[in-house]
């Protein structure tokens, strides 16, 4: 076979769902762009960027969670209404992601994600200055719009640019950054609320988001395998319909709703419980307890890697069993069993979410950004709907009512996971 001058013959990699087979025996080096995988410099840069993005997204989103009891006193609102500071963000986010993922198909993955991070950090800084409750809620709802440009698009970027062997680890590191961001946002806001004011806490979180956005912008390699497509409504709706026709993806979308609904409810109302008698903890102490969020970093990376080695079907159900064990432990009246229960539950949640989110990207045969956005639509819809329902459970029945709600969601999630273990793969994926 003849080659053009200066071209280098390269061995062909095996065909994979994200790496199309090349029929020629050799190809020109300049025509082949390697997929990012473990050991490459681009792999470390990408994971630094994804870690920073996950950190910023979750810090900006969840920094209000430990402040909900403070909002009830400052703005004279009830527990369920104070949860709107988070539920409005996640609810708006759920719907906006369906559009943001389509915009990224036309404008590119990285530009959409960069704009998302910087705009969300600015809105958080403005929220720290807002004098009225309703004004604060408006800004938090707008944050749902700006944050929508990151989660689903990041999942699509990983599935497009990473070698299949490295997808699970990359998603685990992104979710690990999310775990650290969830802790960091809560810790910064909680500690500064005790020391100075909640407004300073939000302002510092906003500044941290700006720094993380800069790291992301400078570190993330531009897309090499992305091909822009014009933004048209009919193909977009067709892509959504195609994903919803697949029973495996439908089960995974439902799983996202159940997992996140249970998780956010636990964290929303743990603060109310531990700030009240007989515990009477300070905001700083409650924020420190949320350091168990760090376990999510270990869980997402370890379980994601384990699922890549053993198969998602063999691993998926196990972390959900841990979630059930964790919520059972929180029924105790002792502080240390409660903390242990939160830790076990957190490990299980992040492990299960790591497997489910990477499974969506692998099972979708095309339009992966739309598949990811549908998963995250249900994921954040669970946060919004169940997170606010948890406030009614807390007001009506206290912590037993909250754990009954969480336990029911976790049992349903386990049933879905077991159903997925016997579902036939979708062509060469599963």
Q: What is the pLDDT of residues 373-387, one digit of tens each?
A: 788 889 989 999 999
pLDDT surpassing 90 at residue 270: yes
pLDDT for 161 equals: 82
pLDDT grade for 175, boundaries at 50, 70 and 90: confident
- The pLDDT, as a whole number, for residue 283 is 85
Average pLDDT over residues 273-301: 85
Average pLDDT over residues 338-355: 92
Tell whether the model's pLDDT for residue 15 goes beyond 50.
Answer: no
Number of H helices, E strands in the chain: 17, 0
3-state secondary structure of 48: helix
Q: How far apart are CA 33 and CA 40, in angstroms?
A: 13
Residue with tokens 């841990």: 322
Confidence at residue 33, expressed as pLDDT on a 0 to 100 scale:
63
168-182, 314-328, 365-379 — which one is most confidently predicted on average? 314-328
Contacts of 377 (CB under 8 A, 6+ apart): 94, 95, 97, 98, 253
At residue 365, the pLDDT reads 74
Q: Are 381 and 359 in contact (CB under 8 A)?
A: no
Would you place residue 170 in the very low, low, confident or very high pLDDT band (cuts 50, 70, 90)?
confident
Pick from 16-20, 134-138, 330-334: least confident: 16-20
**Residue-level pLDDT at 9:** 34
H helix or E strand, kind and range, residue 28? none
pLDDT beyond 80 at 429: no
The percent of residues in the chain predicted with pLDDT above 70, rounded, is 90
Distance in angstroms (rounded) separating the CA atoms of residues 34 and 45 = 15
Residue closest to 377 by CA, chosen among 240, 234, 238: 240
How far, in Å, CA of 344 to CA of 20, rounded? 41
pLDDT at 1 over 50: no
pLDDT at 10 over 70: no
The residue among 29 and 92 whose pLDDT is bigger is 92
Give residue-wise pLDDT tens across range 202-234.
Answer: 999 999 999 999 999 999 888 877 777 777 777
Residue 288 pLDDT level (bands cut at 50, 70, 90): confident
pLDDT at 141 over 70: yes
d(CA 73, CA 45): 44
Query: Per the structure block, which two tokens stand in for 269?
Result: 């109302």
Determine what percent of the chain is predicted with pLDDT higher than 90. Answer: 46
> What is the full DSSP assignment across 332-361?
SSSHHHHHHHHHHHHHHHHHHHHHHHHHHH
- Cα–Cα dist 96/99, whole Å: 5
- How far apart CA 236 and CA 191 sit, in angstroms, is 44
| Residue 330: DSSP 8-state | T
* Paired residues of 429 in beta bridges: 426
pLDDT tens track for 300-309: 778 877 877 7
Q: Which residues contact 309 (CB under 8 A, 6 or more apart)?
A: none
The model's pLDDT over 16-64, given as tens digits with 9 standing for 90+, comes to 333 333 333 443 443 456 787 776 777 888 888 988 998 999 899 999 9
pLDDT band for position 250 (cuts 50, 70, 90):
very high
Write the CATH number of the domain with boundaries 39-421.
1.20.1250.20
Here the tokens at position 314 are 């063999």
pLDDT score recorded for residue 202 = 95
Residues 6 or more apart whose Cβ sits within 8 Å of residue 38? 165, 166, 169
In sign, the C-alpha dihedral spanning 212, 213, 217, 222 is: positive
- What pLDDT, on the 0 to 100 scale, is given for residue 105? 73
| Least confident window among 69-83, 157-171, 192-206, 234-248 | 157-171
Query: What does pLDDT average to over the chain?
Result: 84
């Amino acid at each position: 076979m003849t080659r053009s001058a200066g071209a280098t013959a390269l061995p062909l990699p095996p065909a994979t769902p994200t790496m199309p087979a090349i029929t020629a025996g050799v190809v020109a080096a300049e025509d082949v762009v390697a997929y990012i995988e473990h050991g490459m410099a681009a792999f470390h840069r990408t994971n630094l960027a994804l870690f920073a993005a996950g950190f910023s997204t979750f810090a900006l989103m969840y920094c209000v969670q430990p402040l909900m009891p403070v909002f009830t006193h400052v703005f004279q609102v009830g527990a369920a209404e104070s949860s709107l500071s988070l539920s409005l963000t996640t609810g708006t986010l759920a719907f906006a992601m369906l559009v943001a993922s389509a915009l990224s198909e036309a404008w590119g993955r990285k530009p959409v994600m960069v704009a998302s991070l910087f705009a969300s950090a600015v809105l958080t800084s403005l929220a720290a200055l807002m004098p009225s409750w309703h004004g604060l809620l408006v800004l938090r709802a707008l944050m749902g719009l700006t944050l929508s440009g990151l989660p689903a698009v990041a999942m699509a970027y990983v599935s497009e640019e990473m070698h299949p062997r490295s997808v699970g680890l990359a998603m685990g590191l992104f979710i690990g950054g999310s775990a650290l961001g969830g802790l960091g946002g809560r810790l910064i806001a909680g500690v500064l609320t005790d020391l100075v004011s909640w407004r300073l806490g939000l302002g510092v979180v906003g500044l941290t988001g700006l720094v993380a956005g800069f790291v992301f912008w400078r570190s993330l390699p531009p897309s090499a395998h992305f091909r822009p497509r014009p933004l048209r409504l009919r193909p977009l709706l067709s892509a959504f319909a195609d994903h919803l026709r697949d029973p495996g993806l439908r089960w995974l979308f439902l799983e996202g709703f159940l997992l996140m609904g249970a998780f956010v409810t636990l964290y929303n109302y743990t603060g109310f419980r531990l700030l009240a008698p007989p515990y009477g903890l300070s905001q700083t102490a409650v924020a420190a307890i949320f350091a168990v969020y760090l376990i999510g970093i270990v869980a997402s990376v370890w379980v994601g890697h384990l699922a890549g080695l053993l198969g998602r079907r063999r691993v998926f159900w196990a972390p959900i069993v841990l979630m059930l064990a964790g919520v059972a432990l929180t029924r105790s009246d002792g502080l240390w069993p409660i903390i242990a229960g939160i830790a076990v539950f957190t490990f299980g949640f992040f492990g299960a979410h790591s497997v489910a989110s990477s499974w969506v990207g692998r099972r979708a045969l095309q339009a992966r950004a739309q598949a990811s956005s549908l998963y995250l639509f249900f994921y954040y819809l669970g946060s919004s709907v169940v997170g606010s329902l948890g406030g009614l459970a807390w007001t009506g029945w206290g912590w037993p009512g909250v754990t009954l709600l969480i336990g029911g969601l976790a049992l349903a999630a386990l049933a879905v996971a077991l159903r997925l273990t016997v579902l036939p793969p979708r062509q060469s994926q599963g």
